[in-house]
Chain A
């Protein structure tokens, strides 16, 4: 059973339908008692980092997720991925869940050469795999995925990078540390590739008991 963490941010319908298409049973809940019954969680999210953390704190989900992730898999999507990090510069500097080291920072909107570029990073961009052995990428070849975001993760530990996109610099697209994974793009909106990546996460949840199939503690 998969749990979709419902803390009041974003569109859960598309994600739940994607799980349905994968014939995955799931619950949508903000209740730790309910979420305890799951084998793995997905933390979605659209909107502002500060609002999301305020809601997670208010619902006592922040500490719950930190503890949960010590023993069971957690996948953050889009803002949900950003929440996994130490802190974010969006609005005022706000503390995140601290499950993956790094800071969420805004696209500058100007390249090193001074060329202006558009923010948000919106649309289909290609991935390059930096850790192709990760269980999330199992059987997949680099492809286009759908991004919509104005902030990106500035990783403290390059080992946590699994796949990246290029948008006036390297944009972490898939990250992971132990049981905890995140995708900056929307797998539920990224066609067949996104669906396959979600399926890989579900498979990892089912195989759970420990580490990713790549064998490394961090993948």
Chain B
């Protein structure tokens, strides 16, 4: 049976992992390779690296990080953040990333999804969507630029469009729930998961192990992503996975 995936997300700035607790197990908690191997050892099914560098130098450093991670890690990983062109996609995939995730650049230029998917296959292209509930229109609106810019796009419609263009997976972050630690936004997760035929990764709001269960059962997500609860050791990947196993969820 296909397992539900648990995916830790690491924010990388200028080649260093930011946020996160000083793990006693690690010599260097800012080293992306060491953290990747740590999460691999804990049973992570996949990793996401989000490059939050603001400079070109920082982005070039990310390519080096990807190479180093790919040399050691034997599970899949996705790289996102600041990918604007087919050239950027090629560079990261050739450096060893399994998938790239496109967010603002895909909204600005939806053709980039198609270009990437045509060149490398749908499975390499993840469309990341930051969605926020808009009470006025009673829809989920898409936001870009790290959640700072509101667009007129409806998140569900945009997800369908992205899949039509060739996205092989949707990484859905609820801005309403992000950082709140009281569970994933199950309504939009379920709506998008039912609207598209590709896997959906729920993100934003994980606070405890049972939140993941809800994301899979009520939210119909195929995978769930979390950052801070893993980095700050509020729980661990292995603890979440054993909880889910106990509840009868298919878990690796």
Contacts and interface: CB of A to CB of B under 8 A. Distances in A.
B71 interface: yes
A146 B197 contact: no
Contact of A17 (B71, B93, B124, B252): B71
A144 B252 CA distance: 6
- Of listed A48, A116, A191, residue having the most chain B CB within 10 A: A191
Contact of A13 (B74, B95, B252): B95
A124 B5 contact: yes
A118 B223 CA distance: 13
Contacts of A189: 74-76, 98
Contact of B199 (A10, A122, A150): A122
Q: What interface size band does chain B fall in?
A: 20 to 34
A165 B252 CA distance: 14
A18 interface: yes
B111 interface: no
A177 to B, nearest CB: 26
A59 interface: no
A125 B2 contact: yes
Nearest to A144: B252
A188 B74 contact: yes
Nearest to B93: A11
Contacts of A166: 1
Please classify the interface of chain A as helix (H, G, I), strand (E, B), loop, or mixed, using the class held by over half of its residues.
mixed
A162 B156 CA distance: 41
B94 A123 contact: no
B98 A14 contact: yes
A119 B1 CA distance: 15
Interface in A64-79: none
A18 B72 CA distance: 8
A129 to B, nearest CB: 16
Nearest to A187: B74
Given A14-B70, A144-B252, A122 B75 contact: no
Contact of B168 (A120, A125, A126, A194): A120
Contact of B74 (A48, A123, A191): A191
A185 to B, nearest CB: 11
B95 to A, nearest CB: 7
A126 B3 CA distance: 8
Contacts of B95: 13
A47 B252 CA distance: 26
A182 to B, nearest CB: 18
A28 to B, nearest CB: 12
Interface of B: 1-3, 5, 40, 45, 67, 70-72, 74-76, 93-96, 98, 120-124, 168-169, 197-199, 222-223, 252
21 contacts: A11-B98, A13-B70, A13-B94, A20-B71, A46-B120, A46-B124, A118-B197, A118-B198, A120-B168, A120-B199, A123-B3, A124-B2, A124-B3, A125-B2, A126-B1, A144-B3, A146-B76, A166-B1, A188-B74, A189-B98, A191-B40
